[in-house]
A and B are shown apart, each in its own frame.
Chain A
Protein backbone atom coordinates (compact mmCIF):
# COMPACT_ATOMS: atom_id res chain seq x y z
CA UNK A 1 0.00 0.00 0.00
CA UNK A 2 1.30 3.41 -0.94
CA UNK A 3 -0.13 6.68 0.36
CA UNK A 4 0.79 10.07 -1.04
CA UNK A 5 -0.56 13.54 -0.31
CA UNK A 6 -2.69 15.19 -3.00
CA UNK A 7 -0.65 18.33 -2.40
CA UNK A 8 2.85 18.57 -3.83
CA UNK A 9 5.96 20.17 -2.38
CA UNK A 10 5.27 23.45 -4.20
CA UNK A 11 1.78 23.50 -2.57
CA UNK A 12 0.01 22.83 -5.88
CA UNK A 13 -2.37 19.88 -6.08
CA UNK A 14 -1.99 16.86 -8.35
CA UNK A 15 -4.14 17.01 -11.49
CA UNK A 16 -7.57 15.40 -11.30
CA UNK A 17 -7.81 12.01 -12.97
CA UNK A 18 -10.52 12.15 -15.67
CA UNK A 19 -11.53 8.54 -14.93
CA UNK A 20 -12.15 9.43 -11.28
CA UNK A 21 -13.98 12.63 -12.22
CA UNK A 22 -16.29 10.62 -14.46
CA UNK A 23 -16.89 8.01 -11.77
CA UNK A 24 -17.86 10.59 -9.16
CA UNK A 25 -19.75 12.98 -11.49
CA UNK A 26 -23.16 11.83 -10.26
CA UNK A 27 -22.12 12.05 -6.59
CA UNK A 28 -20.63 15.51 -7.17
CA UNK A 29 -23.86 16.74 -8.77
CA UNK A 30 -25.88 15.19 -5.95
CA UNK A 31 -23.68 16.94 -3.37
CA UNK A 32 -24.22 20.32 -5.04
CA UNK A 33 -27.97 19.65 -5.13
CA UNK A 34 -27.86 18.63 -1.47
CA UNK A 35 -26.19 21.80 -0.21
CA UNK A 36 -28.83 23.80 -2.08
CA UNK A 37 -31.62 21.99 -0.22
CA UNK A 38 -33.92 24.70 1.14
CA UNK A 39 -34.41 24.70 4.90
CA UNK A 40 -36.57 27.82 5.15
CA UNK A 41 -36.98 31.39 3.97
CA UNK A 42 -35.89 34.83 5.04
CA UNK A 43 -37.61 38.15 4.35
CA UNK A 44 -34.40 40.12 4.99
CA UNK A 45 -30.75 40.05 3.99
CA UNK A 46 -28.47 38.58 6.66
CA UNK A 47 -25.05 40.17 6.35
CA UNK A 48 -21.97 40.93 8.42
CA UNK A 49 -20.68 44.09 6.66
CA UNK A 50 -21.57 46.18 9.72
CA UNK A 51 -21.42 43.62 12.53
CA UNK A 52 -18.61 45.61 14.16
CA UNK A 53 -20.84 48.65 14.55
CA UNK A 54 -24.01 46.96 15.75
CA UNK A 55 -25.75 45.24 12.81
CA UNK A 56 -26.96 41.94 14.25
CA UNK A 57 -28.77 40.72 11.12
CA UNK A 58 -26.40 37.77 10.61
CA UNK A 59 -26.01 37.02 14.32
CA UNK A 60 -29.40 37.14 15.97
CA UNK A 61 -30.80 33.96 14.44
CA UNK A 62 -27.66 32.05 15.50
CA UNK A 63 -28.08 33.30 19.06
CA UNK A 64 -31.81 32.53 18.99
CA UNK A 65 -31.16 28.98 17.81
CA UNK A 66 -28.45 28.41 20.44
CA UNK A 67 -30.58 29.91 23.23
CA UNK A 68 -33.61 27.79 22.33
CA UNK A 69 -31.51 24.61 22.13
CA UNK A 70 -29.76 25.29 25.44
CA UNK A 71 -32.98 26.18 27.28
CA UNK A 72 -34.67 23.03 26.01
CA UNK A 73 -31.72 20.83 26.95
CA UNK A 74 -31.41 22.31 30.44
CA UNK A 75 -35.12 21.92 31.13
CA UNK A 76 -35.05 18.27 30.09
CA UNK A 77 -31.70 17.18 31.54
CA UNK A 78 -30.42 19.67 34.10
CA UNK A 79 -33.50 20.69 36.12
CA UNK A 80 -31.35 22.23 38.90
CA UNK A 81 -30.16 24.86 36.47
CA UNK A 82 -33.52 25.47 34.83
CA UNK A 83 -34.21 28.65 36.79
CA UNK A 84 -31.12 30.44 35.44
CA UNK A 85 -31.29 32.96 32.60
CA UNK A 86 -30.06 31.52 29.30
CA UNK A 87 -28.09 33.78 26.99
CA UNK A 88 -26.11 33.07 23.85
CA UNK A 89 -22.94 34.50 22.35
CA UNK A 90 -21.81 34.44 18.77
CA UNK A 91 -19.51 36.40 16.50
CA UNK A 92 -19.25 37.32 12.83
CA UNK A 93 -16.84 34.71 11.50
CA UNK A 94 -16.53 36.40 8.12
CA UNK A 95 -15.56 40.01 8.44
CA UNK A 96 -13.41 40.94 5.45
CA UNK A 97 -10.24 39.13 6.51
CA UNK A 98 -9.69 37.72 3.00
CA UNK A 99 -10.99 40.80 1.15
CA UNK A 100 -14.22 42.72 0.52
CA UNK A 101 -15.96 39.52 -0.68
CA UNK A 102 -15.28 37.76 2.61
CA UNK A 103 -18.45 38.63 4.52
CA UNK A 104 -21.52 36.65 5.44
CA UNK A 105 -24.24 37.70 3.00
CA UNK A 106 -27.45 35.72 2.62
CA UNK A 107 -30.02 37.17 0.22
CA UNK A 108 -33.73 37.36 1.06
CA UNK A 109 -35.69 34.39 -0.24
CA UNK A 110 -35.02 30.71 0.09
CA UNK A 111 -32.42 29.78 2.71
CA UNK A 112 -30.47 26.61 1.94
CA UNK A 113 -27.90 24.44 3.70
CA UNK A 114 -25.00 26.31 2.07
CA UNK A 115 -26.43 29.58 3.44
CA UNK A 116 -26.36 28.04 6.91
CA UNK A 117 -22.66 27.41 6.37
CA UNK A 118 -22.28 31.09 5.45
CA UNK A 119 -24.04 32.04 8.69
CA UNK A 120 -22.08 29.54 10.77
CA UNK A 121 -18.71 28.92 9.19
CA UNK A 122 -16.91 26.65 11.64
CA UNK A 123 -17.67 22.99 12.43
CA UNK A 124 -18.04 23.67 16.16
CA UNK A 125 -20.22 21.93 18.70
CA UNK A 126 -22.64 23.77 20.93
CA UNK A 127 -21.35 24.05 24.50
CA UNK A 128 -23.07 25.73 27.44
CA UNK A 129 -21.16 27.39 30.25
CA UNK A 130 -22.30 28.69 33.63
CA UNK A 131 -20.82 32.07 34.50
CA UNK A 132 -21.39 34.82 37.05
CA UNK A 133 -22.39 38.37 36.16
CA UNK A 134 -18.79 39.42 36.80
CA UNK A 135 -17.50 36.68 34.48
CA UNK A 136 -20.04 37.68 31.85
CA UNK A 137 -18.70 41.23 32.00
CA UNK A 138 -15.14 39.87 31.69
CA UNK A 139 -16.22 37.91 28.60
CA UNK A 140 -17.69 41.01 26.96
CA UNK A 141 -14.64 43.09 27.97
CA UNK A 142 -12.37 40.62 26.18
CA UNK A 143 -14.66 40.66 23.14
CA UNK A 144 -14.47 44.48 23.14
CA UNK A 145 -10.72 44.28 22.51
CA UNK A 146 -11.99 44.33 18.95
CA UNK A 147 -11.86 48.13 19.27
CA UNK A 148 -8.99 50.54 19.56
CA UNK A 149 -9.14 53.06 22.39
CA UNK A 150 -10.58 56.24 20.91
CA UNK A 151 -9.42 59.68 22.05
CA UNK A 152 -12.43 62.02 21.77
CA UNK A 153 -10.20 65.10 21.57
CA UNK A 154 -8.27 64.02 18.48
CA UNK A 155 -9.25 65.88 15.31
CA UNK A 156 -7.48 63.42 12.99
CA UNK A 157 -9.25 60.21 11.82
CA UNK A 158 -9.02 57.28 14.23
CA UNK A 159 -9.35 53.64 13.24
CA UNK A 160 -12.10 51.91 15.21
CA UNK A 161 -11.04 48.30 14.68
CA UNK A 162 -8.05 46.61 16.29
CA UNK A 163 -6.92 44.11 13.64
CA UNK A 164 -5.03 42.15 16.31
CA UNK A 165 -8.38 40.97 17.69
CA UNK A 166 -10.13 38.99 14.94
CA UNK A 167 -13.88 39.26 14.38
CA UNK A 168 -14.43 35.64 15.46
CA UNK A 169 -13.39 36.76 18.95
CA UNK A 170 -15.89 39.64 19.01
CA UNK A 171 -18.68 37.77 20.79
CA UNK A 172 -21.96 39.58 21.29
CA UNK A 173 -25.34 38.88 22.81
CA UNK A 174 -28.51 39.64 20.86
CA UNK A 175 -31.37 39.38 23.33
CA UNK A 176 -34.17 41.79 24.12
CA UNK A 177 -33.65 40.89 27.79
CA UNK A 178 -29.97 41.84 27.89
CA UNK A 179 -28.34 45.19 27.15
CA UNK A 180 -24.94 46.83 27.50
CA UNK A 181 -22.89 49.68 26.11
CA UNK A 182 -19.31 49.60 24.88
CA UNK A 183 -17.33 52.71 25.78
CA UNK A 184 -14.45 52.74 23.32
CA UNK A 185 -12.90 55.81 24.93
CA UNK A 186 -11.98 53.67 27.94
CA UNK A 187 -9.03 51.27 28.14
CA UNK A 188 -9.48 47.52 27.71
CA UNK A 189 -11.20 46.06 30.77
CA UNK A 190 -13.30 49.15 31.56
CA UNK A 191 -15.45 49.40 28.46
CA UNK A 192 -18.59 47.43 29.27
CA UNK A 193 -21.05 49.74 30.98
CA UNK A 194 -24.77 49.79 31.82
CA UNK A 195 -25.07 45.99 31.60
CA UNK A 196 -28.67 45.01 32.37
CA UNK A 197 -30.77 41.84 32.49
CA UNK A 198 -34.51 42.50 32.11
CA UNK A 199 -33.96 46.18 32.81
CA UNK A 200 -32.02 45.70 36.05
CA UNK A 201 -28.28 46.15 36.54
CA UNK A 202 -26.57 42.76 36.38
CA UNK A 203 -25.45 41.61 39.84
CA UNK A 204 -21.79 40.46 39.63
CA UNK A 205 -22.77 37.41 41.72
CA UNK A 206 -25.83 36.27 39.77
CA UNK A 207 -25.49 33.22 37.55
CA UNK A 208 -26.15 32.89 33.83
CA UNK A 209 -26.04 30.01 31.40
CA UNK A 210 -24.45 31.01 28.12
CA UNK A 211 -24.69 28.99 24.93
CA UNK A 212 -21.52 29.20 22.88
CA UNK A 213 -19.25 26.80 21.04
CA UNK A 214 -16.56 24.34 22.09
CA UNK A 215 -13.81 26.69 20.89
CA UNK A 216 -14.81 29.46 23.26
CA UNK A 217 -15.91 27.27 26.18
CA UNK A 218 -12.62 25.36 26.09
CA UNK A 219 -10.35 28.39 26.00
CA UNK A 220 -10.23 29.61 22.39
CA UNK A 221 -9.33 33.30 22.36
CA UNK A 222 -8.32 32.99 26.03
CA UNK A 223 -11.41 34.60 27.50
CA UNK A 224 -11.19 34.93 31.31
CA UNK A 225 -12.34 31.82 33.17
CA UNK A 226 -13.27 29.98 29.98
CA UNK A 227 -10.88 27.05 29.88
CA UNK A 228 -13.28 24.13 30.12
CA UNK A 229 -13.97 24.62 33.81
CA UNK A 230 -17.26 26.49 33.26
CA UNK A 231 -18.74 23.99 30.82
CA UNK A 232 -22.10 22.66 32.01
CA UNK A 233 -22.73 20.51 29.00
CA UNK A 234 -21.20 19.70 25.65
CA UNK A 235 -23.96 19.03 23.15
CA UNK A 236 -23.65 16.23 20.65
CA UNK A 237 -24.90 18.64 17.98
CA UNK A 238 -22.88 21.19 16.12
CA UNK A 239 -23.88 24.84 16.12
CA UNK A 240 -24.66 24.84 12.42
CA UNK A 241 -27.09 21.93 12.71
CA UNK A 242 -28.72 23.67 15.66
CA UNK A 243 -29.16 26.71 13.42
CA UNK A 244 -30.55 24.61 10.55
CA UNK A 245 -33.09 22.94 12.84
CA UNK A 246 -34.15 26.32 14.18
CA UNK A 247 -34.68 27.76 10.69
CA UNK A 248 -36.62 24.64 9.67
CA UNK A 249 -38.91 25.00 12.68
CA UNK A 250 -39.31 28.77 12.21
CA UNK A 251 -39.95 28.38 8.45
CA UNK A 252 -39.67 32.09 7.61
CA UNK A 253 -37.19 34.44 9.24
CA UNK A 254 -38.38 38.03 9.48
CA UNK A 255 -36.50 41.22 10.18
CA UNK A 256 -38.79 41.99 13.12
CA UNK A 257 -38.49 38.59 14.78
CA UNK A 258 -34.99 37.47 13.79
CA UNK A 259 -32.84 40.39 12.68
CA UNK A 260 -33.38 43.58 14.62
CA UNK A 261 -32.48 43.17 18.29
CA UNK A 262 -29.45 45.15 19.37
CA UNK A 263 -28.21 44.24 22.82
CA UNK A 264 -25.26 46.59 22.60
CA UNK A 265 -24.49 50.08 21.41
CA UNK A 266 -21.48 52.30 21.72
CA UNK A 267 -21.61 54.56 24.75
CA UNK A 268 -22.46 58.00 23.36
CA UNK A 269 -19.44 60.26 23.01
CA UNK A 270 -18.76 63.29 20.84
CA UNK A 271 -15.45 63.00 19.03
CA UNK A 272 -13.61 65.97 17.54
CA UNK A 273 -12.51 63.94 14.51
CA UNK A 274 -13.93 61.04 12.50
CA UNK A 275 -13.89 57.45 13.80
CA UNK A 276 -13.41 55.22 10.75
CA UNK A 277 -13.58 51.57 9.74
CA UNK A 278 -13.35 49.56 6.52
CA UNK A 279 -15.95 47.36 4.86
CA UNK A 280 -17.11 46.38 1.39
CA UNK A 281 -18.13 49.43 -0.70
CA UNK A 282 -21.70 50.46 -1.44
CA UNK A 283 -23.35 48.65 1.46
CA UNK A 284 -24.64 51.61 3.47
CA UNK A 285 -28.29 50.79 2.72
CA UNK A 286 -27.84 47.47 4.56
CA UNK A 287 -26.75 49.30 7.71
CA UNK A 288 -29.83 51.53 7.47
CA UNK A 289 -32.14 48.54 6.95
CA UNK A 290 -30.68 46.98 10.09
CA UNK A 291 -31.35 50.15 12.07
CA UNK A 292 -27.71 51.22 12.23
CA UNK A 293 -28.16 54.90 11.36
CA UNK A 294 -24.94 56.44 12.65
CA UNK A 295 -22.71 55.22 9.80
CA UNK A 296 -21.65 57.11 6.67
CA UNK A 297 -19.56 56.05 3.68
CA UNK A 298 -16.63 58.48 3.42
CA UNK A 299 -14.82 56.99 0.39
CA UNK A 300 -15.88 54.15 -1.91
CA UNK A 301 -12.17 53.30 -2.18
CA UNK A 302 -10.17 53.54 1.03
CA UNK A 303 -6.97 53.84 -1.02
CA UNK A 304 -5.34 50.73 0.42
CA UNK A 305 -5.66 48.71 -2.76
CA UNK A 306 -7.76 45.82 -1.48
CA UNK A 307 -11.17 47.03 -2.62
CA UNK A 308 -12.52 48.20 0.72
CA UNK A 309 -14.47 51.40 1.30
CA UNK A 310 -13.88 53.80 4.17
CA UNK A 311 -16.82 54.31 6.50
CA UNK A 312 -17.25 56.51 9.57
CA UNK A 313 -19.33 55.86 12.66
CA UNK A 314 -20.74 58.77 14.67
CA UNK A 315 -20.31 57.74 18.27
CA UNK A 316 -22.44 60.62 19.57
CA UNK A 317 -25.59 59.01 18.16
Chain B
Protein backbone atom coordinates (compact mmCIF):
# COMPACT_ATOMS: atom_id res chain seq x y z
CA UNK B 1 0.00 0.00 0.00
CA UNK B 2 2.86 2.35 0.86
CA UNK B 3 4.30 1.81 -2.63
CA UNK B 4 0.97 2.61 -4.21
CA UNK B 5 0.69 5.82 -2.21
CA UNK B 6 4.25 6.75 -3.16
CA UNK B 7 3.60 6.05 -6.83
CA UNK B 8 0.38 8.06 -6.71
CA UNK B 9 2.27 10.97 -5.12
CA UNK B 10 4.98 10.83 -7.78
CA UNK B 11 2.33 10.70 -10.50
CA UNK B 12 0.55 13.75 -9.13
CA UNK B 13 3.85 15.64 -8.77
CA UNK B 14 4.60 14.86 -12.38
CA UNK B 15 1.10 15.96 -13.40
CA UNK B 16 1.67 19.21 -11.51
CA UNK B 17 4.90 19.82 -13.40
CA UNK B 18 3.06 19.14 -16.68
CA UNK B 19 0.39 21.66 -15.74
CA UNK B 20 2.98 24.40 -15.18
CA UNK B 21 4.71 23.69 -18.52
CA UNK B 22 1.42 23.45 -20.38
CA UNK B 23 0.13 26.72 -18.91
CA UNK B 24 3.30 28.53 -19.93
CA UNK B 25 3.12 27.07 -23.44
CA UNK B 26 -0.49 28.20 -23.80
CA UNK B 27 0.35 31.66 -22.46
CA UNK B 28 3.00 32.20 -25.15
CA UNK B 29 0.70 30.82 -27.80
CA UNK B 30 -2.24 33.04 -26.89
CA UNK B 31 -0.41 36.08 -25.51
CA UNK B 32 -1.87 35.65 -22.04
CA UNK B 33 0.13 37.94 -19.73
CA UNK B 34 3.11 37.78 -22.12
CA UNK B 35 3.74 38.84 -25.72
CA UNK B 36 2.67 36.21 -28.25
CA UNK B 37 5.65 34.03 -29.15
CA UNK B 38 4.43 31.08 -31.19
CA UNK B 39 7.89 29.61 -31.81
CA UNK B 40 8.56 29.57 -28.08
CA UNK B 41 5.11 28.07 -27.50
CA UNK B 42 5.93 25.25 -29.93
CA UNK B 43 9.15 24.48 -28.03
CA UNK B 44 7.31 24.48 -24.69
CA UNK B 45 4.49 22.29 -26.00
CA UNK B 46 7.12 19.92 -27.34
CA UNK B 47 8.91 19.73 -23.98
CA UNK B 48 5.66 19.01 -22.19
CA UNK B 49 4.63 16.49 -24.86
CA UNK B 50 7.98 14.71 -24.65
CA UNK B 51 7.48 14.47 -20.89
CA UNK B 52 4.24 12.61 -21.59
CA UNK B 53 1.57 15.33 -21.52
CA UNK B 54 -1.09 14.16 -23.99
CA UNK B 55 -2.89 17.54 -24.12
CA UNK B 56 0.39 19.24 -25.05
CA UNK B 57 0.99 16.62 -27.73
CA UNK B 58 -2.47 17.30 -29.19
CA UNK B 59 -1.90 21.07 -29.43
CA UNK B 60 1.59 20.49 -30.83
CA UNK B 61 0.05 18.26 -33.51
CA UNK B 62 -2.39 21.06 -34.43
CA UNK B 63 0.39 23.66 -34.66
CA UNK B 64 2.55 21.40 -36.84
CA UNK B 65 -0.39 20.53 -39.10
CA UNK B 66 -1.31 24.20 -39.61
CA UNK B 67 2.25 25.54 -39.67
CA UNK B 68 1.62 27.75 -36.64
CA UNK B 69 4.90 29.04 -35.16
CA UNK B 70 6.73 26.26 -36.97
CA UNK B 71 7.05 25.15 -40.60
CA UNK B 72 4.10 22.96 -41.59
CA UNK B 73 4.95 19.28 -41.09
CA UNK B 74 2.03 16.92 -41.57
CA UNK B 75 4.09 13.80 -40.88
CA UNK B 76 5.31 15.08 -37.51
CA UNK B 77 1.76 16.34 -36.80
CA UNK B 78 0.37 12.86 -37.34
CA UNK B 79 3.07 11.35 -35.12
CA UNK B 80 2.23 13.72 -32.25
CA UNK B 81 -1.48 13.17 -32.78
CA UNK B 82 -0.93 9.44 -32.43
CA UNK B 83 1.18 10.03 -29.32
CA UNK B 84 -1.57 12.21 -27.84
CA UNK B 85 -4.06 9.42 -28.56
CA UNK B 86 -1.74 6.84 -26.99
CA UNK B 87 -1.69 9.09 -23.92
CA UNK B 88 -5.51 9.06 -23.92
CA UNK B 89 -6.20 12.60 -25.05
CA UNK B 90 -9.98 12.34 -25.72
CA UNK B 91 -9.71 14.91 -28.51
CA UNK B 92 -6.81 13.15 -30.24
CA UNK B 93 -8.74 9.88 -30.14
CA UNK B 94 -11.78 11.67 -31.59
CA UNK B 95 -9.64 13.29 -34.30
CA UNK B 96 -8.34 9.86 -35.32
CA UNK B 97 -11.87 8.43 -35.20
CA UNK B 98 -13.27 11.12 -37.48
CA UNK B 99 -10.47 10.60 -40.01
CA UNK B 100 -10.73 6.80 -39.90
CA UNK B 101 -12.26 5.29 -43.07
CA UNK B 102 -13.05 1.91 -41.46
CA UNK B 103 -16.35 2.37 -39.56
CA UNK B 104 -15.66 -0.41 -37.03
CA UNK B 105 -12.24 1.02 -36.17
CA UNK B 106 -13.71 4.55 -36.05
CA UNK B 107 -16.40 3.42 -33.60
CA UNK B 108 -13.75 1.78 -31.43
CA UNK B 109 -11.65 4.95 -31.34
CA UNK B 110 -14.70 7.03 -30.51
CA UNK B 111 -15.51 4.67 -27.66
CA UNK B 112 -11.95 5.06 -26.36
CA UNK B 113 -12.35 8.83 -26.62
CA UNK B 114 -15.56 8.77 -24.56
CA UNK B 115 -13.90 6.54 -22.00
CA UNK B 116 -10.82 8.77 -21.76
CA UNK B 117 -13.13 11.71 -21.01
CA UNK B 118 -14.41 9.95 -17.90
CA UNK B 119 -11.00 9.93 -16.26
CA UNK B 120 -9.39 13.10 -17.57
CA UNK B 121 -7.21 14.65 -14.87
CA UNK B 122 -7.63 18.27 -15.85
Contacts and interface: CB of A to CB of B under 8 A. Distances in A.
**A, B from the same assembly:** yes
Nearest to A123: B114
A302 interface: no
B5 to A, nearest CB: 27
A214 B90 contact: yes
Main secondary structure of the interface of A (DSSP, over half): loop
B30 A214 contact: no
Contacts of B114: 123, 238
A238 B32 CA distance: 29
- Bin the interface of chain A by size: 20 to 34
B104 interface: yes
A11, A125, A219, A228: most-surrounded residue (chain B CB, <10 A): A219
A218 B91 contact: yes
Contacts of A229: 23, 26-27, 30, 32
A168 interface: yes
A178 interface: no
B98 A166 contact: yes
Contacts of B95: 220
Contacts of B55: 218-219, 228
Contact of A227 (B26, B102, B117, B120): B26
A222 B90 contact: no
Contacts of A220: 91, 94-95
Nearest to B58: A219
Contacts of B122: 228
B98 A227 contact: no
A222 B66 contact: yes
Nearest to A13: B104
A125 to B, nearest CB: 5
Interface string A173-207: 00000000000000000000000000000000000
Contacts of A227: 26, 29-30, 59, 62
Interface in B70-122: 89-91, 94-95, 98, 102, 104-105, 110-111, 113-114, 117, 120, 122
B62 to A, nearest CB: 4
A101 interface: no
Contacts of B29: 227
Interface in A220-250: 220, 222, 225, 227-229, 234, 238
B29 to A, nearest CB: 7
A150 B117 CA distance: 40
Interface in B3-22: 22
Nearest to B120: A234
8 nearest A-B pairs in the assembled complex, by CB-CB distance: A123-B114, A222-B62, A229-B26, A218-B91, A220-B91, A227-B59, A215-B91, A219-B59
